[in-house]
Amino acid sequence: MAYVYDFTQGNKDQKDLLGGKGANLAEMTNLGLPVPPGFTISTDACRAFLAAGTEPDGLEEEVDAQLRALEARMGRRLGDAADPLLVSVRSGAKFSMPGMMETVLNVGLNDESVVGLATRNGDERFATDSYRRLLQMFGSTVLGVDSEAFGDRLDELKAARGVASDAELTAEDLRGLVEDFKVIIREHTGADFPQDPREQLRRAIRSVFESWNTPRAALYRRQERIPDDLGTAVNVQAMVFGNRGETSGSGVCFTRDPATGEPGVYGDYLPNAQGEDVVAGIRNTIPLAELARLDRASYDSLLAIMEQLERHYLDMCDIEFTIEEGRLWMLQTRVGKRTAEAAVRIACEMVAEDYIDRDDALLRVSGHQLIALMFPRFAPDPDRHPVATGMNASPGAAVGRAVLDTETAVAWAERGEAVILVRKETNPDDLAGMLAAQGVLTSRGGKTSHAAVVARGMGRTCVCGAEAIEIDLVNRRFQVRGGPVVEEGDMISIDGTTGEVFLGAVPVSDPDVVRRLEGEEVDDPVAVSVARLLGHADGIRRLGVRANADTPEDARRARRFGAEGIGLCRTEHMFLGERRHLIERLIVADDEAERQEALEKLEPLQRQDFGEILEAMDGLPVTVRLIDPPLHEFLPDLTDLEVRVALEDERHEEDRRDHVLLEHVRRLHEHNPMLGLRGVRLGIVIPGLFHMQARAIASAMADRIEAGGDPRPEIMVPLVVHERELTLVRGELEKVIGEVSADRGLDLHIPIGTMIELPRAALLADRIAATADFFSFGTNDLTQTVWGFSRDDVEAAFLPAYRDRGVFPVSPFESIDVDGVGKLVEIGSRLGRETKPGLHVGVCGEHGGDPESIRFFAEAGIDYVSCSPFRVPVARWEAARAVLARD
């Protein structure tokens, strides 16, 4: 087994073995580009080292052999006293982990070879400075000396000499510094700096291996979802120097503009500097174009190489180079990172240039990038500063008058005002206010708080947990701690992408992408490209895309965005205003007659709700979920009411109505409402509610048919956990539908299916499938029960600690937990289809709009996802990418 590969032996596809940097150095070497020679120690060697705690057998011999070959090619020997070869030792993992792991330059210098280097180049200062840098880098990274010890000494020296920059120190100064650094190393480690160049190399390599497992590297990997067991490769390469005077320098460049995607050279150059200096930003760089003036030959070579690399990689490349005394060296290349706009523009222009085809273009723009392109945003302004910052809970830019409660939000919105709902936290009572508002700002709660979750679902901008904000409901205003007071009605602006809160109305730029996707004529090339690629995606994907929509407006918007139906129409969101009042009457009814009366008044209202939605989605399926939440959600909060009644009693102002209400609220109170009387359980305990809804759906369908439409409602029963629940409810629903059919003289066919949102339903889906016309996975509730986490409670209490300590990199409510929840989704759909081959299976949880989750659902053979209207284009996009990535 070989552990070490010369740059001539590898290629760009061997990132697993050689890491990203090593693979690309090999690729450039084989393209004949001017790469300083060297070799790569593979990730296999790193893994073997980390497993055993010591270098694997044979590694040292291989490194020796490669080093001898390198020495032969360069005509110099490592540490040679007369003319030493110097090498760099750099980490290079499969996935870029910038700054996370170690680099040691100038390996091979010691007390003797530094003299040879100076003599050979006729530049003592350069040689001594190189040695000083080795001592400093080796001391801190390999030997573990606190790097401040070196920095402090350097600062002292500069102060003593009265100079500001390292460059102003003389060779003499640097010689003294070398001696000082050697003392620091001896004092801190109890041993001298190793003079043996082979030992320097061996220890530098080992140190790069070990840097894979530093806490900061491990934390970075968890955040970036990079597996812990990959290990890093190590690149040993002949040194070239950009700091050899004015004919030398280092730079970074891109083959197209990574911010806009515009074609043409783009980059920065720093004369008389090493690459590390460019990255560190010690001096200001100059635009790459100016290199043409300084060194035309090198500039022309670089441009030719950039074009060659782009044609070779068929993508925009990110390049690092060094010029040593007029000679150009390539030190790194890779496919460059870019903004969402640039990603679209580059991909589409490369299609036009025949570099790639449209499938490739789709693969190059992620769903997350599409999401970024779709959010409204504030026009940039460097002079604008936020007054407070919270969590970026639901992206977008929203502007409106601050309102402090739902009633005000609704009232002001009805008279045409744009409003931002500002609350300590939100609860289901705030739904109407959130719907009415442009955005939501809370002072408590995190990314999975009620406000955040609901706002994301609605596509409303949301900033939550802005803790500096103290709301004063009595005086109708809020105070920003250490900042201004904002009166209700003042204009504010919130940026859901950054979490920033601004005073006043910040101008919003409406994204062309969204306008184009909604069907407007827009010229913006990115918007046009996105629309074109999305059309291409529709031809590729096998996953259907529906929308979660509860109102005719949402349904129409979803349809414009390309939704192929409604996968989740939540009827509880319809119980606002008069409907809410009727639901309350239904709950507190004294007898069956009163209950019946409330139901009879609700039915025509619901019938109208459904009729409008069916009209908006004419010809497409509309899956209506029967009422799901516990009924007490429609009544006042227990604690609030207890306090109110206690105070009324205390003041002898007893209110009989409050007492009655309190009795009912107490009766319905649940310790864990998530696990209480909800969904199908309501349908079994209080059948009238489900019957009313079924009658309204069937009647609305009949209305639409008579009006010449093509209504396709489906009824979805929530929270089924046992096949008998569905059998019982289905029988009753069919009876109701049959009655309406007979009354209207129509044959109303309405498929009846169920949500699979509890573990038992997934585990026994084969039984449930026998009476279900379709399944729809409710992955929100499934996540809550599989993990035993309540979404409402989890964030504030322990999600931050869990992320910090690496239990998960991202909340399982944001991106589906493939291992646990995903396993149940697979079990559930497999079992369901065992009973009913071809059973139509959808997903209607929030995950339906998350790119990673969409990809998982596509691969798991789900028939469709349903997501918020705003996420419909993303789901279409990502579903196609899933097909392409697999093929």
The residues that are catalytic are 450, 844
Does 272 contact a second copy by CB under 8 A?
A: no
Contact 207, 104 (CB under 8 A): yes
Does 789 contact a second copy by CB under 8 A?
A: yes
Site string for a second copy, 808-847 (x = CB under 8 A): x--------x-xxx-xx-----------------------
Q: Return the structure tokens found at 581.
A: 């009042």
Site string for a second copy, 624-663 (x = CB under 8 A): --------------xx--xx--xx--xx------------
Which of 401, 375, 340, 341 is CA-nearest to residue 508? 375
Cβ at position 830, least distance to a second copy in Å: 14
Cβ at position 142, least distance to a second copy in Å: 28
| Separation in Å, CA 753 to CA 448, 565, 626 | 29, 16, 11
| Separation in Å, CA 219 to CA 97, 213, 798, 806 | 11, 10, 18, 7
Cβ at position 593, least distance to a second copy in Å: 21
CA 780 to CA 777: how far, in whole Å? 9
Which of 625, 777, 631 is CA-nearest to residue 697? 625
Site string for a second copy, 668-697 (x = CB under 8 A): --xxxxxxxx---x--xx------------
CA 541 to CA 48: how far, in whole Å? 42
Q: Which of 97-100's residues contact partners 24+ apart within 8 Å by CB, and which partners?
A: 97/217, 97/220, 97/221, 97/224, 97/226, 100/211, 100/214, 100/216, 100/217, 100/220
Sign of the CA dihedral running 551, 552, 553, 555: positive
Among 724, 742, 749, 885, binds a second copy (CB under 8 A): 724
Contact 65, 165 (CB under 8 A): no
Among 540, 605, 728, 884, binds a second copy (CB under 8 A): 728
- Among residues 546 and 847, whose Cβ is nearest to a second copy? 847
Query: 């008044």: which residue's tokens?
Result: 601
Q: Tell me the helix, strand and coil percentages in the chain, rounded to 5.
A: 50, 15, 30
104: which residues sit within 8 A by CB, 6+ positions away? 88, 89, 134, 137, 138, 141, 142, 204, 207, 208
- Among residues 597 and 734, whose Cβ is nearest to a second copy? 734
Interface with a second copy: number of residues (CB under 8 A): 56
Binding piece for a second copy, criterion CB under 8 A, among 429-437, 451-459, 719-727, 845-853 = 719-727
- Among residues 576 and 764, whose Cβ is nearest to a second copy? 764
Among 389, 790, 815, 835, binds a second copy (CB under 8 A): 790
Three state DSSP letters for 299-336: HHHHHHHHHHHHHHHCCCEEEEEEEECCEEEEEEEEEC
- Among residues 125 and 823, whose Cβ is nearest to a second copy? 823
Cβ at position 218, least distance to a second copy in Å: 12
- Among residues 320 and 757, whose Cβ is nearest to a second copy? 757
- Among residues 651 and 886, whose Cβ is nearest to a second copy? 651
DSSP 178: H
Cβ at position 393, least distance to a second copy in Å: 18
Cβ at position 213, least distance to a second copy in Å: 15
- Among residues 617 and 720, whose Cβ is nearest to a second copy? 720
Binding piece for a second copy, criterion CB under 8 A, among 292-300, 542-550, 592-600, 793-801 = 793-801
Burial of 6 (0-12, 13-18, 19+ CB in 10 A): middle
The terminus-to-terminus CA distance of the chain in angstroms comes to 32
CA 107 to CA 203: how far, in whole Å? 10
Q: Which residues in the 729-788 window bind a second copy by CB under 8 A?
A: 757-760, 763-764, 781, 784-788
Contact 233, 40 (CB under 8 A): yes
- Among residues 216 and 337, whose Cβ is nearest to a second copy? 216
Which of 882, 830, 887 is CA-nearest to residue 362? 882
Cβ at position 845, least distance to a second copy in Å: 15
- Among residues 676 and 751, whose Cβ is nearest to a second copy? 676
Cβ at position 808, least distance to a second copy in Å: 7
Cβ at position 216, least distance to a second copy in Å: 18
Query: 């003294």: which residue's tokens?
Result: 176
Contact 748, 742 (CB under 8 A): no
| Separation in Å, CA 700 to CA 553, 615, 704, 711, 732 | 17, 10, 6, 9, 18
Query: 């289901």: which residue's tokens?
Result: 428
Among 802, 803, 810, 830, binds a second copy (CB under 8 A): 802
Cβ at position 678, least distance to a second copy in Å: 8
- Among residues 580 and 760, whose Cβ is nearest to a second copy? 760
Binding piece for a second copy, criterion CB under 8 A, among 78-86, 289-297, 300-308, 716-724 = 716-724
Binding positions for a second copy, rule: CB under 8 A:
638-639, 642-643, 646-647, 650-651, 670-677, 681, 684-685, 719, 721-722, 724-725, 728, 757-760, 763-764, 781, 784-790, 792-794, 797-798, 801-802, 805-808, 817, 819-821, 823-824
